[in-house]
């Protein structure tokens, strides 16, 4: 039924699947101790490999093929523009978000701090970059008085601080899920527009994004549980980040159907956004806790599995 359905319906069903896998990843928090960093790093490495392979075979390859029909040897131009635009979109989103909060310290790092910690040090600069020689601000938490003081700023409730941390983490993952949802919608909306733009290719992309959404859900719920929040609440926030994907998928499918000439740009835009997330966020995060080797091996395994799915089934 889905195979013969409209692209809009196909995109909706596929994106609901990717959301479901996000929730499944978040649900792992019920079965693991909150400090299981090794599993998280392995999952992130696997996700990096899956997303890299899916970006090429399910997005870039069809984009190049479509462009070749009209531009021939210059087919790389719209694909390059779209790819760079997708990467720039995620980069700008990352730049804008920290300006909404008081700290640019890693959110996962903040969330993972033990509640008994009395001082957390980090660089506070105007542009969000850590620079040598600049004065460090100190975030002080008095265990007798549940307030937080940041530099010379007025005290803040520790509860309010934890909520700001939670909000930033959810926003970060949600913003990264927008291009993934768009990618699913664009893939299904472009079916039949090129030889490589097939239902199988779009299905494989949705499957690949679903696989990499598993550690994304875990990446939200696990640090929240480590910070001391109830596991049920951690799960709910973990799956919440995937809710944006069905909406983005519907928008992507509709845009491609209504504006077919933008298809190469849309496909490569989604690929650029996904690759930027892999290089800028997923790989560095997987390397932070001393599990870099096994995370890299997991990335290779993920790439091979996704490549095999795309080539074998596409």
Residue with tokens 């790093």: 41
pTM of the model: 0.59
Q: Which of 95, 90, 245, 100 is nearest to 168 (CA)?
A: 100
* Tens digits of residue pLDDT in 175-198: 667 777 877 887 888 777 766 677
pLDDT at 300: 94
pLDDT at 128: 45
Residue ranges of the domains in the chain?
Answer: 7-101+159-313, 113-157
What is the distance, to the nearest Å, from the Cα of residue 125 to the centroid of all Cα atoms in its chain?
26
- Per DSSP, 129 falls in state -
CA distance 280 to 48: 11
- Positions of the chain with pLDDT lower than 70, given as ranges: 1-5, 34-36, 97-176, 194-196, 219, 223, 226-227, 259-260, 313-314
CA distance 305 to 246: 25
């Amino acid at each position: 039924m889905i195979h013969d359905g409209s692209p809009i319906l196909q995109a909706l069903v596929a994106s609901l699947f990717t959301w479901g896998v996000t929730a499944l990843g978040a649900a792992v928090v019920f079965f693991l101790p909150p400090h299981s960093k090794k599993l998280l790093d392995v999952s992130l490495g696997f996700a990096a490999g899956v997303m890299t392979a899916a970006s090429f075979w399910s997005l870039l390859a069809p984009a190049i093929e479509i462009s070749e029909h009209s531009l021939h040897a210059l087919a790389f131009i719209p694909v390059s523009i779209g790819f760079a635009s997708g990467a720039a979109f995620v980069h700008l989103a990352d730049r804008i978000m920290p300006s909404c909060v008081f700290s640019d310290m890693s959110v996962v790092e903040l969330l993972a701090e033990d509640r008994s910690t009395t001082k957390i040090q980090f660089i506070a600069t105007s542009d969000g970059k850590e620079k040598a020689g600049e004065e460090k601000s100190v975030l002080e938490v008095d265990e007798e008085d549940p307030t937080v003081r940041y530099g010379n700023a007025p005290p803040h409730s520790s509860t309010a601080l934890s909520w700001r941390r939670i909000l930033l983490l959810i926003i970060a993952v949600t913003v990264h899920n927008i291009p993934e949802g768009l990618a699913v919608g664009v893939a299904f909306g472009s079916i039949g527009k090129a030889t490589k733009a097939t239902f199988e290719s779009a299905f494989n992309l949705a499957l690949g994004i679903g696989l990499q959404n598993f550690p994304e859900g875990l990446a939200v719920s696990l640090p929240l549980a480590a910070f001391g929040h109830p596991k049920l609440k951690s799960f709910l926030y973990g799956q919440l980040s995937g809710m944006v994907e069905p909406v983005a998928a519907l928008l992507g499918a509709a845009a491609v159907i209504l504006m077919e000439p933008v298809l190469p740009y849309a496909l490569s835009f989604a690929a650029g956004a996904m690759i930027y997330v892999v290089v800028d966020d997923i790989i560095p995060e997987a390397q932070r806790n001393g599990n870099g080797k096994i995370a890299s091996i997991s990335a290779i395994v993920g790439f091979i599995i996704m490549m095999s799915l795309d080539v074998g089934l596409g």
